[in-house]
């Protein structure tokens, strides 16, 4: 008489060979949190620099408006003050836009650098995880085939 295989025991052994790796999940969480911290630092630094630029720009504009608002002796002096203000404002705007562009450029460079590093780390972790999983599957398959015989 043929002996029937105990599929329950074989499935139990097979599933036991694939334990949930909580350490890997913890590592992923920690790595993600660390990346988010670094990205937040880049964003907060950029926000601080942008606020400084905006503050400086506002102060310069207000000081120049003081000259425009002063009483003039001749009507032509008002036109000259307005023209001078417009000219100075255009200069200041160009300087500050260049400063904002530098901040944006630095944010972009820092973000790309962080993402490249994170990608490298993830590739290394994925390679290690796949190798470990392959080893475990091979071991489980050998156990399963040995149990089936």
Confidence category of residue 125, pLDDT binned at 50, 70, 90:
confident
**pLDDT tens track for 40-61:** 999 999 999 999 999 999 999 9
**Distance (Å, rounded) from C-alpha 116 to C-alpha 40?**
16
* 135 CB neighbour count, 10 Å cutoff: 10
Look at residue 111 and tell me whether its pLDDT is greater than 80. yes
What tokens appear for 134 in the block?
Answer: 């392959």
**d(Cα 39, Cα 35) in Å, to the nearest integer?**
6
pLDDT at 118 over 80: yes
What backbone torsions phi and psi does residue 61 show, to the nearest 5 degrees?
-65, -45
């Amino acid at each position: 008489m043929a002996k029937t295989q105990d599929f329950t025991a074989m499935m139990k052994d097979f599933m036991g060979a694939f334990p949930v790796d909580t350490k890997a999940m913890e590592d992923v969480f920690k790595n993600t949190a660390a990346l988010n911290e670094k990205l937040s630092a880049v964003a907060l630094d950029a926000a601080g620099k942008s606020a400084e630029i905006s503050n400086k720009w506002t102060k310069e504009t207000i000081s120049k408006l003081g000259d425009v608002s002063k009483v003039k002796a001749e009507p032509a002096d008002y036109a000259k003050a307005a023209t001078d203000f417009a000219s100075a404002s255009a200069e200041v705007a160009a300087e500050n836009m260049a400063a904002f562009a530098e901040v944006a450029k630095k944010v972009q460079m820092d973000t790309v650098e962080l993402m490249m590093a994170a990608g490298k780390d993830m590739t290394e972790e994925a390679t290690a995880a796949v190798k470990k999983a392959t080893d475990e599957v091979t071991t489980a398959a050998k156990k399963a085939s040995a149990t089936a015989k």
